[in-house]
Amino acid sequence: MDILKLIGREQLLFEEDVRNHEVELAKIVGKSSFLVIGGAGSIGQAVSKEIFRRNPKKLHVVDISENNLVELVRDIRSSMGYIDGQFETFALDVGSLEYDAFVKSDGYYDYILNLSALKHVRSEKDPFTLMRMIDVNILNTIKTIDQAVLKGGKKYFCVSTDKAANPVNMMGASKRIMEMFLLEKNKEIPISTARFANVAFSDGSLLHGFNQRIIKKQPIVAPNDIKRYFVTPQESGELCLMSCLLGDSKDIFFPKLSEKLHLITFAEIALKYLKQMGYEPYLCQSENEARALINDLPSQGKWPCLFTNSDTTGEKDFEEFFVKGEVLDLDKFHNLGIIKSNFDFDRKNLTYFLDEINKMKQSLSWTKNDLTKLFKYMLPSFSHKETGKFLESKM
C-alpha cells in the first residue's frame, strides 16, 4: 500500500529537515535514555522506531495495549534488529500504581515523550468516556511531568493536536487545556510539543478502518465534504522527535502549510485506496444498499461505497495549526513551523479546573453538561459544535 499516493503526495514532508539535522539527532539519541509513553499507538510506534534506529543508550516503551507492544517488538526486530543499548517494553496503565512502582524502581530518563491520548471525537458522546479523556489527555500528563521533574529528566515532550487550535470538540479542547498545563509546568522542566494533521492509517482512524472493511468484506463509508491534511506514520515520528530534541521549551512544532501538504477528502482517499486494492468503487445511495451489494460486487471486481455529508458532533469544518496572536518561526526549518507560545491565561484557573474534576470524581456523579461548562470556563472562546448526532449511529 502506497500511503503517500493515497493522500495525494509524492514525497515525505520532513526529508530535508531530518537530513539537515541528522548528525545532531543521532548524537543526542546515542548518548541519551528515553521513555516513550503510549508507545504502542501509531504515533508512539513511529517515534519509538525513530529513536531505536539511532541507537539510544536506553529505550523503554510503555503502553496499556499488550498486543500492540508485542507487534512493536516484532516490527523492530524484523526490520532493524538489535542495538547496543537497552530496549524494553512494559504493558502498563500510566494511571496505575504499578506504573508508579515502575517509575520508582528506575525512572531516570533524559527524554520523556508522552504520546498517549484519547483522540477520537466519538469519545465525547457520554460523560464517562469524557472523564476518561480528561484523565488521559490532562491528568496523566500532569502526573508524568511531575515524575519526570522528581527524577531529574532533561526534557519532556507531549503530543497535542491541530484540533487544539480554536477547538470545536471536547477532544481538541482537552488538548488545549493540556497545553495550558504544559506552559505552567515548563517552569520546572523544559517542555515542547507538536500539533499536526491526521496520521494516515493510524490505529482506529477512518482510513485504518478501510483495511478492516476489506478484511471483513464490508462496505467502505466516508464523508465527502470534509477535507483534511494527512501525514504518514513515519512523518509523525519525525515531527515528534524533532520537536523533542531540537525544540526550545514552550515550542509547538507543526507542518508548514504548502503545496507539499495536500488537502484531501476522505472520499477521495477511499477511491484511491480501492483502486490500489484492485477494486472499482461502486457508489451506493444508502447503508442498506451498500450492505446488500457486498455479497456480490467484490467477485465482479467492484466494492460498494457510501459517501455522505458529515453531520456529527465535533467535526471541524477546516483544519488549522495555529491561531491569531500566536508568534511563529517559519525560518528555522524547511517544512516545519514553530509556534513560539505566548498564550496567556489565568493560572488560578488551572487549580480551579483540577478541584472541580476532583469533586466530580469523588461524588461519582457528573454530566456531559458539567464537563462542557467547565471546559468553556477554561476556554471562553470554545465554540462546542453539538449536533445531537454521533459517529456511533453510522456504519
pLDDT reported for residue 74: 98
**Alpha-carbon dihedral sign for residues 101, 102, 108, 114:** negative
Mean pLDDT of 378-393: 73
Q: What is the pLDDT of residues 85-112, one digit of tens each?
A: 999 999 999 999 999 999 999 889 999 9
pLDDT reported for residue 388: 59
Axis-axis angle for helices 206-215, 266-276 (nearest 10): 40
Q: What is the pLDDT of residues 220-264, one digit of tens each?
A: 999 998 888 899 999 999 999 999 999 999 999 999 876 667 789
What DSSP line would sit under 313-367, residue for residue? TT--SS--S--TT-EEE-SSSSSEEEEE------THHHHHHHHHHHHHHHHT---
Q: pTM (2 decimals)? A: 0.90
Q: What is the 3-state secondary structure (H, E, C) of 54-72?
A: CCCCEEEEEECCHHHHHHH
Mean pLDDT of 196-223: 90
pLDDT reported for residue 205: 83
Q: What is the pLDDT of residues 281-325, one digit of tens each?
A: 999 999 999 999 999 999 999 999 999 987 655 555 566 788 777
pLDDT category at 134 given cuts 50, 70, 90 is: very high
What is the CATH code for 1-198+231-261+313-395?
A: 3.40.50.720
Listed in sequence order, the DSSP H helices in the chain are: 3-6, 15-20, 22-30, 42-52, 66-79, 97-105, 127-134, 140-150, 170-185, 206-215, 233-246, 266-276, 287-293, 348-363, 368-378
